[in-house]
Each structure stands twice: as C-alpha cells, then as structure tokens.
Amino acid sequence: MWATMAGRHVELREIDYSEVLRERTGGESAVWDKVLANCLQGMAFDLDEAAVKELLGIAGDADRLADLMAAVEEGASDSGGVGAKTTALMRMLRGIIDAVSKADPDRLEPVLGNMASAVGRLSAEMLMGLLEQREVDEGPQLMNAVVSRMTDGAIARFVARNVIEESTATDRLAVAFQSLVQDAEQRPRLLTLAHEDVKASPLGSTEGFESVWNHVAGKLLTSYSDKPFVGNEYARELSGARTQAIEVEQVNDDPPERISAWLGTVATTQLRALDLTLLLDLLRIEPDDAKWGEMMTPVVRLLEDLLLVGDFDAAVRLIEVLVREGRTGATTGRRQHAITAIDMLIAGTMMRHITTHLATIDAAQFERVKAMCVSLGEVLVRPLAETLSVEERPRTRERLASILLAFGPAGRRTVERLKSSPNAAVRRTAILLMRQFGGSEALPDLTELLDDNEPQVQREAVRAILNVGTDAAYQILQQALASGTERSREAIMQSISLVRDERATPLFGYIVRNIDHRGPLAPVYLRAIESLGALKDPEGVVPLKEALYKGEWWAPRRSAVLRRAAAAALARIGTSEAIAVLQEAAAAGKRGVRNAAKSHLTEAPAHRRAAARGDA
C-alpha cells in the first residue's frame, strides 16, 4: 500500500534508543561521530547541549570546519559517488546552520564566512556538486549564501590548489571558476592572485611553468556558448532539466530491463554505430574539400577499429564512400583526399586485422571481405602478397590466395614474390595460384620449382605443368628429366606416377615417343611404359605400340625388357584395340616382338575380365 501511494522514496529505519540515550562524551570526537552519522545515514536525532556547544566551536573555526567537511566527504566515499558526497556535505551544512540559528543567531554571519572559506578547500568537482545540489528547496539558497561570502583570496586559493593538484585546468574547474566569478571582467584579476599562489608552490619552480599557466588561464577564461547550435525552445528544456534533475545515484527504483536498455545505448557496439553514422553523414554533407580532407584521419582510424573487431559490414560502408569519391569525386581535391585515405588504410593495420578473422568468418562474410579488398584496387595486391608469403595457417592462406586470384592479372604478377618465399607452404600456394591462372606463361616459374628441395613443392609443380597439358609443358618435364640429377629425376617421376588420372597419359606418351630408351634415362622410359599400363587409358595404346616395336639387334637383352614391358602394359589396358595390337605383333612381328606379344597375349583376357569385374 505504501509503495503504491508513491512512498517508495521514503526510507524507514529502526532507531536504537539505547544508542540515543547513551551518555555522550568524548568532546570533539563524539560530536564528529554524531555529525557523520547524521550526514551519512540521515538518522533523525538531536544533539545534546554539550554536543551543540562543541559543534558551534567547530563552526567558529574555518580550519576545523574544513577538517570536518573532509571527514564527511571521506566517509561518503564508501557509500557512493559525487552525488552521495555532495548530499552528505549539504546535510552537514544545513545541520550547522540550524544549530547556530537556534543556539546563537548572532553568530550566523561569521559561521557562513567560515563555511565559505572551508568550501573553497573542496575539489572543483565537489564544489560544482554542491552548487548543483537540488535535493531540497533550501539547497540553492544555502549555497548562494555561502558562495556570496567567498573572498577573492578564497577563490584564488581554490583555483591555485586545484591547479597544483591536477597540474592543469580541468573542464570542471573552469566551470566552477566561472560559476564563482560571474563578472567576466573580474576573472583575470583573480587569476593573477591564483598565479602567485601556484608560482610559490613546487609546480611554480618546474621548467615551462609559465607556458603551463598560460594554458590554464586560457582555459579558465574561455567561456562556451551553445547559442549558435541550440534553439531557444531546446535551450529552455535543457535549463529546466538541469534545475529539476534527479540524482540517479540515489534513486534505484528502475526495473532491470529499463536499466539494461539504458546501458545498451552506451555499449561499445552502439557507440561505434553512432560514430559510423556521424562520419557517413559528415562525408555526405560537407561541401568544403579542405574540411572533407581533415576527416580522412578519423575515418581511417574508425575503419581500423571496425576491421579489428571484425565488423566488416560497417567497414564496407565507409570504404564504399572512399572508393566512390576516389574514382568519381566532384573535385580533384576530394578525389585526392580519398585516394590518400585509401593509401593510409592499406599502409596501416588493415591486412593484419583482416587476416585475424579470415579463418573464422563464414562463406558469405568472406565474399564481402573479398569484394571489399578488390574494390580498393591494385594498390592492395602487394601488401596482400606480402601477408600471404608469411602466413602459416592453411585456411587463412587459402582465403588470402582466393582474394589474390580475384585481382586477375595484377594478382599473377605477385607470384614471383611468393615462389621465392622461404616457407614451403607459401611456395605451394604460389604453385596453386599459377595453376589457377593457367596458361603457358606460368611454365618458366613452374620450371624453377621443379628443382625445389621440398618434395611436396616438386609434386605440386609437376601437377601444375600437367595441367597446362601442352607439348611445351611436356618438353619442360623431359628437359628436367634429361638434365637433372638421379635424385631429381626420381622425385619427378614419383610425382608424375602419383597423378592417377588421364592428365598424365599425354605426358607418359610424350616420354615414350621422345626420350631415349638408352643410357641414363632408360629407367624413366621404362617407368613411363609401366605407368601407361597402370592408367589403363585407351590413349596409351598408340605410344605403347611404338615402344613394342622398338629395339636393337645389338642389344637383345635390353630390347627384350622394353618389349615385354610394352606388351604387359597393352595387356593390362585390355581394350579390343590393345589386344589387336598384341595379336598383330604375335602374328607378323619380328621374333623378339612375337615372343613378347605371345607371352602376354594370354594375359589380356584375364585383365579384361578383372577390369569388367571392377566396373561392375
């Protein structure tokens, strides 16, 4: 019932009468304890005659009164922020005024003077809190009475003490100083007095003190007016809100969902969205090229923040503006500013931030990132290649390569940098790019990688050359086999043999037709024959037929080995065309050819049946 009748802001406390009736002794300490309890907790009990007498003694001494105010402020520090402190101090000041008014009204004026002196020892933040205190109607009247009695010396000491403590002038001090000294013509004189006090302090003996003081004085003398930007009606609303403000630190009856909604308006993501909206609007409406150019630094900084947290949707919106203005800006100056901003962005932390997220973003988000990168133009290709050349993570490397491929010919020119990387994984990525770009233009680069020390790099290079599939490509492999060491030939042939599809058939056919079956390349020739049989590609029948009929009468053993290998490969292929070749050789070939063909002709049906079973 009490809550529904708007009584929620009244706090009920249980009074311990044994505490109230207990004998109060201890002089000033006891009085301070009671005053502190009254100010901090709002407990409703009266001071006895001895305590009032002691309190009047404290109020009659500005130094002791300042100490008491400091004790109240310190006690309130544990219970809340500035609002709680100023409320406690205001209760204390009202309590002193009430006590003096009842006990000795004639001393009211000196006490107000002592209060003015003591208030001058507060921080600028606390003083402004007291001046803005609106908890009760008497607050403004009491503080006006106190402040009006502050002497020029007290105000100067207030300024000097705050400057010494902060080593500068805060915005709060400037507002407090201008509130204490309403007459703008009097402010320079009071600052001169404050200057002497600060100069006599340790701060005054530091190097550059006069420069620091000039900055302080300039800030304290500068007055701000929002009249050009704020309409009269809105200004009246602001003034009314200031005079009727509620101390939110003391009112906590808002439901959690409302507080959560309020906090959401100042969340990092919301503030970042406001920054983005503000910058986009300013970039759109600013007609002056020079001022538009001044915004490029904050634009780049915001873009770096957006990329750091992975907010690519927001980053794309800003980059679209820069790209559009850089290409089709209304003036040369604006186009130059946009291009400079793009250069600043790329030269900064952009690629590092993007790389951080590439492994985790989904496919749709990655496509947006790729489109964003491509929109920036070829200027991004080099840093992109540099990033790719040192990247270790497979998924990130794959996506960086995909972005590089999207640049087309400009991306191809970066292969030289990548294939020279000390990282074998990056060299394999270079081969991947060459395979994607395709064409005979990549053959010279691929040829270099055939001699790579890393077997995986060699295998990838061989596969890339096979993908090219031209006689020029096969000739490169033939030359590599002919000129390479036994180890390199073995590595190349092993890489070729691992390619188990029709792409390898033309290469093996080329080897059989063009490589000398005698000398150091004889093992390569023999392996090519065996590989044609293993592939079972009908396209291998013709080169195998040629190999079957090769041979020299002066090297019967070598010729027999090659012919048996060719006949075995034909039998393994097992097609009707392959069997026809064997039958023809068995019937009309030379004796060595006939023997090789006859020995494997009987195997052909078995191979064909096995192949049929495999197809089934």
Same domain, 201 and 133: yes
Q: Are residues 518 and 612 in the same domain?
A: yes
- Check whether 315 has a pLDDT greater than 90: yes
Are 276 and 159 found together in one domain?
no
Burial of 530 (0-12, 13-18, 19+ CB in 10 A): middle
**For residue 304, what pLDDT band results from cuts at 50, 70 and 90?**
very high
Q: Is residue 596 classed as helix, strand or coil in its secondary structure?
A: helix
582 in the same domain as 519: yes
Helix, strand, coil tally for the chain in percent (to 5): 75, 0, 25
**Rounded to whole angstroms, what are the CA distances from 139 to 119, 172, 284, 573?**
14, 20, 48, 106
Tell me, yes or no, whether 439 lies in a domain. Answer: no
Both 65 and 179 in a single domain? yes
Least confident among 77-81, 298-302, 328-332, 553-557: 77-81
Q: Quick check: is 477 in a domain?
A: no
Q: Are 73 and 36 in contact (CB under 8 A)?
A: no
What's the rounded Cα separation, in Å, for the pair 605 and 576?
10
Q: What is the DSSP string of 488-521?
A: HHHHHHHHHHT--STTHHHHHHHHHHHS-SSGGG
Same-domain pairing of 284 and 187: no
Q: Which of 325, 348, 371 is the last residue of a domain?
A: 348
Where is average pLDDT lowest: 177-191, 229-243, 439-453?
229-243
Residues 514 and 579 in one domain: yes
Q: Closest Cα to residue 95, out of 39, 135, 157, 161?
A: 39
Residue 483 within a domain: no
**pTM of structure:** 0.44
**195 lies in the same domain as 317:** no
Q: What's the whole-number mean pLDDT along residues 101-125? A: 83
Position 139 pLDDT exceeds 70: no
pLDDT classification of 16: cutoffs 50, 70, 90: very low
DSSP 295: T
Is 80 exceeded by the pLDDT of residue 10?
Answer: no
DSSP label at residue 380:
G
State mean pLDDT over 409-434. Answer: 75
The CA distance from 42 to 32, in Å, is 14
What are the tokens at 117?
A: 């002196």
- 33 and 163 in one domain? yes
The pLDDT confidence band at residue 382, using thresholds 50, 70 and 90, is: confident
The answer to whether the Cα torsion of 76, 79, 80, 83 is positive or negative is: negative
- Please compute the mean of the pLDDT values over residues 332-346 and round it to a whole number: 92
Locate tokens 């996506």: which residue?
A: 399
In a domain, 522, yes or no: yes
How crowded is the C-beta side of 525, counted as CA atoms within 13 Å?
25
**Calpha distance 35→28 (Å, rounded):** 10
CA–centroid distance for 415 within its chain: 29
Residue 458 lies in a domain: no
At which residue do the structure tokens 């005024």 appear? 97
Residues 6+ apart with CB under 8 A from 547: 512, 517, 529, 562, 563, 565, 566
Percent of the chain with pLDDT over 70: 78
CA separation (Å) from 200 to 157, 173, 204, 209, 378?
Answer: 12, 20, 6, 11, 63
Model confidence at 398: pLDDT above 70: yes
In this structure, the answer to whether residues 601 and 530 fall within a common structural domain is yes
Q: Is 574 helix (H, G, I), strand (E, B) or coil?
A: coil
Other beta carbons within 10 angstroms of residue 260's beta carbon come to: 10
Indicate whether 85 belongs to any domain: yes
Q: Span 373-378, mean pLDDT?
A: 91
Kindly state the average pLDDT of the residues 40-55.
61
H/E segment holding residue 146: helix 138-147
Report yes or no on 545 lying in a domain: yes
Tokens 């990655």 locate to 366
Assess whether pLDDT exceeds 60 at residue 345. yes
Which pLDDT band, with edges at 50, 70 and 90, does 76 fall under?
low
CB 162 within 8 A of CB 124: yes
What is the span of the domain harbouring residue 527? 500-616
Mean pLDDT score across all residues of the chain: 77
Contact 323, 376 (CB under 8 A): yes
Are residue 148 and residue 71 in the same domain, yes or no? yes
Number of domains in the chain: 3
Domain match, 44 and 144 both? yes
* Across 41-45, 293-297, 461-465, least confident range: 41-45
pLDDT of residue 42: 54
Q: Given 186, 221, 256, which residue is the final one in a domain?
A: 221
With respect to residue 339, please indicate whether it lies within any of the assigned structural domains. yes
Report the pLDDT value the prediction gives residue 614, as an integer from 0 to 100: 46
Q: Which of 221, 249, 282 is the last residue of a domain?
A: 221
Mean of pLDDT values over 487-499: 71
Q: How far apart are CA 94 and CA 590, in angstroms?
A: 129
